[in-house]
Chains A and B, each alone.
Chain A
Amino acid sequence: MNKRILSVLVENHAGVLSRIAGLFSRRGYNIDSLSVGTVEDPAYSRMTIGITADDWQTEQIMKQLNKQVPVIKVVELLPDDSLIREILIIKVSAPVEARREIKDLADLYKASVLDITQDTMVLEVTGQQKKIESFIDHMKTYGLLEIARSSSVGMQRGSSVF
């Protein structure tokens, strides 16, 4: 069982999200994450779905997805050929004396500061899952107040378009 990411192009209308999400639950597939957004043509959306599955299950999931009428195309985003990113917004406790240190760490992670108050900071970082998790670990030192995290979105490298 591996973690994998599927990119699914679907028609953009009501009911499609529940149809796809329902497919996973009723067939007993493991779904880790799901993100949806419209694409260049507003008639379509792209779903990026994180799953935990072996090769056989992945094939079954892709076939069942393809069978759905609103599904246009399904590809697996293989780690070596794909760009996969998550976004994290994190509110940390940041008294004046800690700000410099937090800012230095944020720079290392190419995180940006979205908001600042007397004793808190809100930071934004994008990257692969491991980078996000490592950044969260560092922030624990200062006191995590709130976390909002997207699931993965991604696409294949190179000039091919799907």
Chain B
Amino acid sequence: MEGAKAIIESIEKHGTDRVFGHPGGAVLPLYEALRASGLVHVLTRTEQGAAHAASGYARMSGKPGVCIVTSGPGATNIITGIATAQADSVPLLVITGQVQRSRIGTDAFQEADITGASEPFTKHTYLVQDADELPRIMKEAFHIASTGRPGPVLIDIPVDIQKAEVKDSCDPQIHIRGYKPVFHGNRKQIKKAISAIEKSERPLVCAGGGILCSGARTPLNLFLQKTGIPVVHTLMGNSAIDGGLANSMGMIGSHGHLRAKQALRESDLLIIIGARISDRATAGGQIFESHKTIVHIDIDPAEVGKNIETQIPIVGDAGDVVMYLLKNMDPDRSWNWEPCRTPSEEPVPSKTRADKLDPAVLLHSVSKKADPDAIFTADVGLNQIWAARHIEMSGKRRFLTSGGLGTMGYGLPSAIGAKMAAPGRQVFAVMGDGGIQMSLGELGTLAESGEKVVILLLNNQYLGMVRELQDNAYGKECRHGVRFEKGPDFVKIAEAYGLRSAHACDMESFEKILHLSLAGKDSWLIDCKIDSKINSVRRF
């Protein structure tokens, strides 16, 4: 069998129905094999878009997202997408074409050392040197990407290997000596945690994105309901907690809720589940460093004790550990404490400007009208914080964003991928006018796909988050390089791509367009003219 065919067969065998990619000279044999296969090819407009779309697909399907790009610039263009997936623990299988083996190292046309360049941003990389190794490498790559702490795996395949004959293409046995992720949390450690929790007066759970990676949302919410232990979440853990839960205290971190921060301060024991506790989550760190017992549950041993000192480390799958906690904790004990001093949260403004939209009001309205299992992707910047704070993650809603790397341009392509993985669910892409201009070409991908995504473009003609940072650091008179003086007419752009689109300047027009967009089968871009004075978090 030809190498290219063996690669495509392996992808089919691993249960994915599509690949996201951008072809080129070094992947011609692969595309020929792809054409003859049952796999759908989604042609994104940039390689980075392919990685983000695959990321949305992976996060909603639970299977690795597969990308195929060509050598050289194709490969280097996808690095940001790979790094984005690595930071948020998203399983990707990235196949890059490479120049033929005899030309490697000669600075040939479109040659780049992609295994070297992508090394810091991948869970693992392969450079295939022998066609006979293809079946094993493909199988290992899928295994590594999707098990343990998920992440991107890159396979660089020289074009002559794609054309070479694979002698033995049967299903190989794999045995990776250096890769044995722990799944079951150590029972002794969990018991230690249980006794510490039972002794504590004010325990608090901090839920991270690991809950969603592990599929632990249901057991975790059951655990929270049964024990009454209050819960806070990180940005990545947004949608890990059922919105209706009474003991949910909101999001922690630099743009989090005051109630969540206060709960952190007052708790005497913290159970961190599937969270790295990054610098954004600690927002200065003080509230984590106060004297309290910390139980840290994570599948990646290197994350336990990295950013925050822990007394009871538990390495294992979030779902496995939470189930064990649930079964072994005293069923009669419950904790229903609330922070003593609950500061008042940002209210939804009742009065807004007549000619501009308020993002909080707008997103509350979307939140009310969206399906209980709607998927929301958010880009990066003000739109991301607004989306995380104002869209209620009730029911089985999902929130996808680039939380770790903070990659602008993630929202649109990831929404396309998410929709493809969950065609029956409503998908919204919350974008800013900065991020959408980094991914405009993907409007074409969306139009071509025939899938329906509603793009809520929160347009304030600013790189609003950077503006806010500049204001805070240097004062308002020092704003520089953050204003889009001549923002394009996004409605015309969307229409040029064959999408439906309209401007919304006030809530009345917005509600009408939203209603229209939700009713039909077409994708929409709603250009929402946002009051440009509004910052990420308003304190009243």
Binding site for B on A (CB under 8 A): 10-11, 14-15, 18-19, 22, 26, 59-60, 63-64, 66-72
**How far apart are the CA atoms of A67 and B303 in the complex, in Å?**
10
* A66–B127 touching, CB < 8 Å: no
**Is B473's beta carbon under 8 Å from chain A?**
no
- List 6 A-B pairs, minimum CB-CB distance, nearest first: A63-B302, A69-B124, A72-B178, A69-B179, A67-B302, A71-B178
B115 touches A66 (CB 8 A): no
Least distance between A136 CB and chain B CB atoms (Å): 36
B144 touches A67 (CB 8 A): no
Q: B177 contacts the other chain (Cβ, under 8 Å)?
A: yes
B301 touches A66 (CB 8 A): yes
The reply on B125 being an interface residue by CB < 8 A is yes
Min C-beta distance of B173 to chain A, whole Å: 16
On whether the beta carbons of B115 and A15 are closer than 8 Å, the reply is yes
Determine the distance from Cα of A99 to Cα of B120 in the docked complex, in whole angstroms.
53
Given contacts A60-B306, A71-B178, 14 further A-B contacts (CB under 8 A): A14-B127, A14-B129, A15-B119, A15-B127, A18-B119, A60-B305, A66-B302, A67-B300, A67-B302, A69-B124, A69-B144, A69-B176, A72-B177, A72-B178
* B residues in contact with A22, CB < 8 Å: 119-120
Tell me, in angstroms, the Cα distance from A22 to B113 when the chains sit together: 15
Which chain B residues lie closer than 8 Å to A14 at the CB level? 127, 129
For the A-B complex, the count of residue pairs with Cβ-Cβ distances under 8 Å equals 40
Give the shortest distance, in Å, between B75 (CB) and chain A (any CB). Answer: 15
The CA of A18 and the CA of B116, in the complex, are separated in Å by 8
In the bound complex, what is the Cα–Cα distance between A70 and B305 (angstroms)?
23
**Is B18 an interface position by the 8 A CB rule?**
no
Q: How far is the CA of A59 from the CA of B125 in the complex (A)?
A: 25
**Interface assignment of B59: CB less than 8 Å from any CB of chain A:** no
Q: Does B123 contact A (CB under 8 A)?
A: yes
B182 CB to nearest A CB, Å: 11
Q: Which residues of A contact B116 (CB under 8 A)?
A: 15, 18
Q: How far is the CB of A64 from chain B (nearest CB, A)?
A: 5
Are B178 and A68 interface neighbours, CB within 8 A?
yes
Partner of A60 from the list B123, B144, B300, B302 (CB cut-off 8 Å) is B302
Beta-carbon contacts under 8 Å, B127-180 to A: 127, 129, 144, 176-179
A26 and B120 form a contact (CB under 8 A): yes
Among residues 397 to 414 in chain B, which have CB atoms less than 8 Å away from a CB atom of chain A? Answer: none
CB distance from B123 to the nearest CB of A (A): 7
B144 contacts which chain A residues (CB < 8 A)?
A: 69
Task: Give B305's nearest chain A residue, CB to CB.
Answer: A59
State whether A11 touches B177 (Cβ < 8 A): yes
Separation of A60 and B302 alpha carbons in the complex (Å): 7
Query: Within the assembled complex, what's the spacing in Å between the Cα atoms of A26 and B178?
Result: 21
